[in-house]
Amino acid sequence: MKRFIYIVTILTLSACAAPPNPHLDWAQRLDAARKVNENWSADCTRDQVTNTRRCFAGTFDNRSRSFQVYFINDSGPFIGAGAHTFPGRRPEVRFDNDQSSMTIQDDAGVSSNRPQQSIVNRMLTAQTANLRAHTWPDGTRDSTINVGGFAQAWRRLGELRAGAPSASETIARP
């Protein structure tokens, strides 16, 4: 009798399992296809209204500790620093043990972005980025981000910009 109850319980529980979620499956496949190495992902997305193509290489520990290099159509490279949302203030970054920080020209979209090849050049050999971003209304947030492996992500970003198929444009959305 115990065996019968056990089998009925297992069959009942397995019948109650949640059905597969096609959106979750798509997101997991997209995430895996974007992965360049342990720290970096790269891809291109296309705005369905403006037809603007945005290509990026980014490291995304979480929303407040993300760091990206991106291009909008043929303009860039631009730097996206964490959850920077404080208009009029600019994030700063200091790589490894550099003596001074570099100002990131991201002021939460108040003015037009300016390319920052000098930051990209430094990232090619850096291992850590000490980032200070400003989040409205919370204020200043400091974080340390592992940027190791960026050179490989930068190469992949170049391939994507040159026309290599991107994950977002080839993996069909459910």
pTM of the full structure: 0.81
Q: How many CA atoms lie within 13 A of 158 on its CB side?
A: 7
Tokens of 46: 């296309």
Sites in the chain below the pLDDT cut of 70: 1-19, 62-65, 83-85, 106-113
What pLDDT was estimated at residue 133?
Answer: 84
CA distance 10 to 17: 11
Confidence at residue 25, expressed as pLDDT on a 0 to 100 scale: 85
Q: Quote the pLDDT of residue 161.
A: 94
Domains of the chain by range and CATH?
Answer: 36-170 (2.60.40)
pLDDT at 63: 54
Instruction: Write down the pLDDT at residue 28.
Output: 87
